Structure 1
Amino acid sequence: MTIDQEHVARTIELAEEAVEDGNTPFGALLVVDGEVRREAKNTTLTDDDVSAHPELKLARWAGRELSAEELADCTMYASTEPCPMCTAAIHYAGIGRVVFGVAGETLHELTGGAIPIPAAEVIRRADGEATVEGPIATEAAMAVHEAFFGA
């Protein structure tokens, strides 16, 4: 298993924890200099906050706490491809790389609720420099969504 796969596997665990906490299945983490600096779970339901996505929480934290150099060199890992709102925050924060488990389009096929605009497209249209990689764990990430939303 590669380091990217290990980190995405952890985000899938965080997504499972989010469900246990009464939320929808999304998790993310931020790696700086090879070290996991922060993890986040979706809390949109328990916080009654539509913006409480883990990727947005991490982008906000990173923008406040990391230097420009750290931001450019860090990687955000997400269980599911970040939505356009979160991707815009990733771009504005200056996070350099994103790796995700399952594509938003695949989730959209299951739920009909995701906005199926690829993160790479949002970054490209923003003239951003972040690299976006994925999906790298479709089956494992979708299993959590299928259990929550129904297959």
Structure 2
Amino acid sequence: MKNKFMKSALKCAQKAYEEGEVPIGAVVVLDGKVIARGHNRRTRRQMATAHAEIEAIEKACKKLKSWRIPECELYVTLEPCPMCMGAALNARIKKIYFGAYEDKGRSLTNQIAGANLLNHKIDVEGGVMEEECRAILSDFFSSMRAREKAKKQTGDDEAR
């Protein structure tokens, strides 16, 4: 089941990729069904909080008509940042599954999840379909560097 839901999160990440955003996707699952999806939209919205996890959690809360969604699980393609972990804690998410590890925050996620904050702790499992989740990120950044290199070589600000 974990792979099924992570594949759904990867589809969301692909949507972000196609929009020129860093390809991160998230889904919220309740009773074995995806009830909300989100993908990174920071650049498009010019909003620091427009992360995939935030979007998915907001949609799930709206759908369930509650800011507390303790029976839900969150699947995300990249290890959540502290802001997204805070949102998951506030929403009382039951468990987070993530794909690729964020090299800069590997231990931070577990520290936040296990801290005595809001009388709630989140179970966290990383490395779900890690290779696939890392691959979409690597491909995105390789393509971005190639575009930047092409721009410099041609002097064209519109190189894609």
Q: Specify the TM-score bucket, using the shorter chain as the normaliser.
A: 0.7 to 0.9
Matches within 5 A, 1:68-147: 71-105=69-103, 108=104, 115-127=105-117, 128-147=120-139
CA distance in 2, matches of 1:126, 1:43: 31
The structural deviation recorded for 1:37 is 0.5
CA distance in 2, matches of 1:63, 1:92: 11
Per the alignment, residue 12 of structure 1 pairs with: 10
Please provide the CA RMSD for this pair.
2.1
The residue type equivalent to 2:132 in the other structure is: A
Higher relative contact order (CA 8 A, sep 6+): 1
Per the alignment, residue 112 of structure 1 pairs with: none
Alpha-carbon distance change, 94 to 100 in structure 1, aligned in 2, over 3 angstroms: same
In the comparison of the two structures, how many residue pairs are matched?
140
CA distance in 2, matches of 1:23, 1:53: 10
CA distance in 2, matches of 1:84, 1:91: 10
Cα deviations by residue, 1:92-133 (Å, 9 ceiling, x for unpaired) = 11111110111112xx4xxxxxx5553221122244321111
The structural deviation recorded for 1:22 is 1.9
Query: 1:38–1:58: 8 Å Cα contact kept in structure 2?
Result: yes
Work out the percentage of aligned pairs sharing the same amino acid.
26
CA distance in 2, matches of 1:50, 1:117: 23
The residue type equivalent to 2:133 in the other structure is: A
Is it true that 1:48 corresponds to 2:46 in the alignment? yes
Q: Which moved more, 1:29-38 or 1:120-129?
A: 120-129
The structural deviation recorded for 1:73 is 1.5
Runs (4+) of structure 1 exceeding 6 A deviation are none
Per the alignment, residue 150 of structure 2 pairs with: none
Per the alignment, residue 26 of structure 2 pairs with: 28
TM-score (ref. length: structure 2): 0.78
Q: Which moved more, 1:56-65 or 1:19-28?
A: 56-65
The structural deviation recorded for 1:67 is 6.7
Q: Which moved more, 1:121-130 or 1:86-95?
A: 121-130
The structural deviation recorded for 1:89 is 0.5
TM-score (ref. length: structure 1): 0.83
The structural deviation recorded for 1:60 is 2.8
The residue type equivalent to 2:82 in the other structure is: P
SS of the residue corresponding to residue 45 of structure 1 reads: helix
> Which blocks of at least 5 consecutive residues in structure 2 are unaligned?
146-160
The structural deviation recorded for 1:61 is 3.2
